[in-house]
Chains A and B, each alone.
Chain A
Amino acid sequence: MFSSLFSMRGGSYSVVIFFLTTLGLLISALPVAVVTLMSFSAAETAAFPPAEFSFRWYEALWSQLSADESSSAHSLGDALFTSLLVAAIVMLVSTFVCVPLAYALVRGGGRVRAGMELLFTLPLVFPLVILGIAFLLIAESLALDLGIWRLVIPHVALVLPFVLRNCMSAMNGIDIEIEEAAISLGASWMRAFLDVVVPLMKPGILAGLIFALIISFNEFTITFFMYTIDVSTLPIWMYSRTVSSLDPAVLSLSVGIILVDVIMILIIDKIIAGRASLF
């Protein structure tokens, strides 16, 4: 099962590699595992390990979700709805702008391409706190009433590097002969682009869409600065619920989010398997 890089011939080397790998995996996985286990606890408090198991926190979560929306300004249902709406708009906008750009960059090439790629990588390395503060300062000092776009605009900037990279790696695999063939058969350029190129880019587009969904749905830092009472997302709701003590109902919500994220990553991994790197 193991090949050359990690020899199984025994000795201190293998022991150390095995130990460090196990430690790294434990650090990565332990919090998620504990949260999942705790969410099935039957106890009132978050004492671990749970003595008995039940679905009571899932029921509590469900009743919070289906309960009166109007009673509090900051309800779970509203936060979930806003989160999904923001993520959906972010997915649409980022894909809509990245598909033509990926085409232009791959077909255009040259020095412009390198510069543009660098420009669209910037949001990846720029400190999120600073972005959050900068967007807040702009929105406050210009007194803009943006509604849900308060969150959509920064989220789009955040996901652009991922979406563009996936679209470009899909675009790289499409031969120019294919669209030339379409054009020589009488199709307009637009027709060739929409009916030939875009369908071929589908795996890259899909991976980009999922990246946009995951990142926007889990975003905390920028949203923490930009949220208002009317426009607030699920992570902010969770933060406000647990800032003083741990509410086990939030743990059952967490398990839902973990599940969604794992499935999304598995889908991406399947789509881009071997053809592109995740970063």
Chain B
Amino acid sequence: MNAHRSSLRSFALSLPAIIAIAPFLGACFYIFRFSVSGESGVISGYSLQAYFDLAEPFFLRSVWVTVKLAALSTLVVLILSVPIALVIASVRTALVRRLLTVTILLPMILNLLIQSYGWIILLGPSGVLNTTLRETGLISRPILLLFNETGVLLGLIQTAIPLAVFPILSATRVISREYLEAASSLGAGNWRVFYDVILPLLKPGLVSAASIVFAYNASAFAVPLLLGGRRVQMLGVAIRDMISPLFNWSGAAAAGMVLIVITTGVLLLAAALINRSARTPKPSEVSEPLQSGGGA
């Protein structure tokens, strides 16, 4: 079989998939083209007016709320996900491991409506928490945990945990038992082993988990829509409002481009960080940091 024929066949085999992804690429291009359109309702001419119009307090506050909530949720998700990943990695029983995997994975796969129902029952104005607190006389009027930033933060954390647990879990594969035994036989306590051995080895996994969680939560839409009421204007919701009551299509497209720049910027930064650390010795060759008790 000659090379020409084989590359022709490869192309023919790839063609259906390329056709299937074409609308997606078209959509990406379309949103960019609309954002530089001269008019706000149709694509005609070129202008950066839509971008200049974004420089107003409402939109800037929305960018701030988005970045703040995404960063906060990323921090909390990492703090929760590292222990979860370590525990899953340590579980030997297949059944327990499977149970943990499903519990972690479910919040991301299940549609968000169902989970927001759960949160409303638990934390809503007449939910479990408020009723209990009122009956015990600790509070006289309900504490608002939902339909504000707290509620959105909770939802963001919940839906993003699986996105962080699985990259960290695959990063734990490079931690071999010998490292930990060596460290503790040299007298390092549990915390010392965690900071000086486990964390540095998990770093690539942590960086990629953090970037994925940040990008995912910065572009969240359903969570702020369902748990934020209309008060928490994260970018996703703000962009939707530009479309639905306001019909400012080029403005929405420009705001969308801002969101894409934020998320891809973070993802690229993380990829660069991981690449740089990949050029330093591979985990299998790392032995000195253990002996010297050093690390990153």
Given contacts A12-B191, A154-B27, A215-B109, 16 further A-B contacts (CB under 8 A): A6-B86, A9-B190, A17-B87, A18-B83, A31-B118, A35-B115, A100-B17, A120-B17, A126-B28, A127-B221, A129-B259, A133-B31, A141-B43, A160-B21, A257-B110, A279-B163
A238 in contact with B113 given A122-B24, A266-B102 (CB within 8 Å): yes
Asked whether any CB of chain A lies closer than 8 Å to the CB of B277, the reply is no
B4 to chain A, nearest CB (A): 13
List residues of A whose CB falls within 8 A of some B CB: 1-7, 9, 11-14, 16-18, 20-21, 23-25, 27-35, 38, 46-49, 93-94, 96-98, 100-101, 103-105, 107-108, 112, 116, 119-120, 122-123, 125-138, 141, 153-154, 156-157, 160, 164, 189, 214-215, 218-221, 224-225, 235, 238-239, 242, 246, 250-251, 254, 257-258, 261-262, 265-266, 269, 277-279
Contact of A242 among B98, B117, B177 (CB under 8 A): B117
Which A-chain residue is minimally distant from B119 (CB atoms)?
A31
List, in ascending order, chain A residues with CB within 8 A of B263's CB. 125, 127
Determine if A136 and B243 form an interchain contact, defined as CB atoms under 8 angstroms apart: yes
Which A-chain residue is minimally distant from B41 (CB atoms)?
A141
Sorted nearest first, the 6 A-B pairs with minimum C-beta distance are A31-B118, A127-B219, A13-B190, A134-B27, A157-B24, A24-B80
Residues of B in contact (CB 8 Å), total: 102
A111 to chain B, nearest CB (A): 13
Q: What separation, in Å, do the CA atoms of A220 and B116 have in the docked complex?
A: 13
A218 in contact with B109 given A133-B252, A266-B102 (CB within 8 Å): yes
Determine if B90 and A257 form an interchain contact, defined as CB atoms under 8 angstroms apart: no
Q: What separation, in Å, do the CA atoms of A24 and B77 have in the docked complex?
A: 8
List, in ascending order, chain A residues with CB within 8 A of B204's CB. none
List, in ascending order, chain B residues with CB within 8 A of A269's CB. 98, 101-102
List residues of B whose CB falls within 8 A of some A CB: 6-7, 9-11, 13-14, 16-17, 19-21, 23-24, 26-28, 30-31, 34, 42-43, 79-84, 86-87, 89-93, 96, 98, 100-107, 109-122, 126-128, 131, 154, 157-158, 161-163, 166-167, 170, 172, 175, 177, 180-181, 189-191, 194, 198, 212, 215, 218-219, 221-222, 235-236, 239-240, 243, 249, 252-253, 256, 259-260, 263-264, 267
List, in ascending order, chain A residues with CB within 8 A of B259's CB. 127, 129-130
A28 in contact with B161 given A120-B21, A157-B24, A220-B112 (CB within 8 Å): yes
List, in ascending order, chain B residues with CB within 8 A of A126's CB. 24, 28, 260
Which A-chain residue is minimally distant from B249 (CB atoms)?
A137
Determine if B240 and A129 form an interchain contact, defined as CB atoms under 8 angstroms apart: yes
Q: What separation, in Å, do the CA atoms of A11 and B188 have in the docked complex?
A: 13
Consensus secondary structure, chain A interface: helix
Determine if B83 and A21 form an interchain contact, defined as CB atoms under 8 angstroms apart: yes
Determine if B23 and A31 form an interchain contact, defined as CB atoms under 8 angstroms apart: no
List, in ascending order, chain B residues with CB within 8 A of A128's CB. 219, 221
Contact of B13 among A4, A93, A100, A246 (CB under 8 A): A100
Determine if B91 and A2 form an interchain contact, defined as CB atoms under 8 angstroms apart: yes
Determine if B115 and A100 form an interchain contact, defined as CB atoms under 8 angstroms apart: no
Contact of B121 among A13, A34, A127, A218 (CB under 8 A): A34
List, in ascending order, chain A residues with CB within 8 A of B107's CB. 28, 31-32
Determine if B16 and A27 form an interchain contact, defined as CB atoms under 8 angstroms apart: no
Determine if B89 and A35 form an interchain contact, defined as CB atoms under 8 angstroms apart: no
List, in ascending order, chain A residues with CB within 8 A of B23's CB. 135, 138, 153-154, 157
A279 in contact with B24 given A13-B191, A28-B104, A31-B119 (CB within 8 Å): no
List, in ascending order, chain B residues with CB within 8 A of A7's CB. 180, 190
Query: Of A5, A32, A157, A261, which is in contact with the most chain B CB atoms at under 10 Å from its CB?
Result: A5
Determine if B222 and A221 form an interchain contact, defined as CB atoms under 8 angstroms apart: yes
List, in ascending order, chain B residues with CB within 8 A of A33's CB. 118
A277 in contact with B166 given A104-B13, A133-B239 (CB within 8 Å): yes
Which B-chain residue is minimally distant from A279 (CB atoms)?
B166
List, in ascending order, chain A residues with CB within 8 A of B212's CB. 125
List, in ascending order, chain B residues with CB within 8 A of A34's CB. 118, 121-122, 128
Q: What separation, in Å, do the CA atoms of A48 and B14 have in the docked complex?
A: 53
Determine if A17 and B83 form an interchain contact, defined as CB atoms under 8 angstroms apart: yes
B165 to chain A, nearest CB (A): 8
Which B-chain residue is minimally distant from A103 (CB atoms)?
B13
Q: What separation, in Å, do the CA atoms of A164 and B17 have in the docked complex?
A: 9
Determine if A157 and B21 form an interchain contact, defined as CB atoms under 8 angstroms apart: yes
List, in ascending order, chain B residues with CB within 8 A of A154's CB. 23-24, 27
